[in-house]
Amino acid sequence: MILFKRKKMFGFFICNFDTPSCMLFHFINCPNTQVHFIVASCENMISGKGMRPGDIVTASNGKTIEVNNTNAEGGLTLADALVYACNQGIVDLATLTGACVVALGPSIAGVFTPNDDLAKELFQASEASGEKFWRMPLEESYWESMKSGVADMVNTGGRQGGAINAALFLKQMHVDMAGPVLNDKKHVATGFGISTLVEWVLKNSSS
């Protein structure tokens, strides 16, 4: 998580970038701006304490979640990070769903948000950075597939509209960058999103 703070504006970036990429924020000149890094992580090794299908977990805000897919543990961890930052303006970036890669391919990240102003700022920053984003719909009727009979919600919806379901689960400004975060030919991480966030921070710190 990257916490962005300036005199009259508070915001969070939540992301899973490597540390060297995140350190770029330390060197940019942003008057009256603080950038903090908050890591939401958990053990993911197989053990007797691992999640099982049908388990019910309680998020840090008290919401209960039925685990119907143990391979979607990242959303659970990310959700608690969002709860931690919920009183601020939030942009999270995550390699969340294969469904978004199927929809947009390997070069474009999907943007999910009900906030038109925040989306506009992000896309203006992306024009300067050259990184590619595409705004995706947040179809509220799809939330039906996220309902549980034994908890407040399940942790994954159906395969249809999978990226939208994941974004509805988070309920915040969300960028699904599962496609462009890796270069499959070179087998390396691309650092996707960093340039756009730097542009966003620079613009807002000087405005």
Phi, psi of 58, deg, nearest 5: -110, 120
Indicate whether 180 belongs to any domain: yes
What's the number of domains the chain is made of? 1
Indicate whether 33 belongs to any domain: no
pLDDT at 83: 84
Q: Is the CB of residue 202 less than 8 Å from the CB of residue 119?
A: no
Indicate whether 38 belongs to any domain: no
Indicate whether 30 belongs to any domain: no
Indicate whether 150 belongs to any domain: yes
- Residue 34, token pair as written in the block: 């603080």
Check: pTM over 0.85? Answer yes or no.
no
Q: Is the CB of residue 114 less than 8 Å from the CB of residue 106?
A: no
User: Nearest-CA neighbor of 91 among 108, 69, 123, 113?
Assistant: 113
- Residue 75, token pair as written in the block: 């959303």
In single-letter form, the type of residue at position 103 comes to A
pLDDT at 38: 66
Rounded to the nearest 10 degrees, how much is the dihedral formed by the CA atoms of 109, 113, 115, 117? 0
Handedness of CA 68, 192, 126, 103 (dihedral sign): negative
Q: In CATH, what number is assigned to the domain containing residue 170?
A: 3.40.630.10
Indicate whether 2 belongs to any domain: no
Q: How far is CA 88 from CA 14, 26, 58, in A?
A: 12, 21, 22
User: Nearest-CA neighbor of 178 among 83, 106, 121?
Assistant: 106
Indicate whether 17 belongs to any domain: no
Indicate whether 49 belongs to any domain: no
Q: Note down the domain range covering 63.
A: 54-206
In a structure prediction context, what are the per-residue pLDDT tens digits for the chain, which is 207 residues long?
444 443 434 444 444 445 445 556 555 666 666 666 667 777 777 888 888 999 999 998 999 999 999 888 888 888 888 888 775 656 788 888 999 999 999 999 999 998 899 899 999 999 999 999 999 999 999 999 999 999 999 999 888 999 999 999 988 788 999 999 988 888 888 889 888 988 888 887 765
In single-letter form, the type of residue at position 80 comes to D
In single-letter form, the type of residue at position 32 comes to N
Q: How far is CA 153 from CA 9, 50, 56, 140, 169, in A?
A: 32, 20, 10, 14, 8
In single-letter form, the type of residue at position 155 comes to N
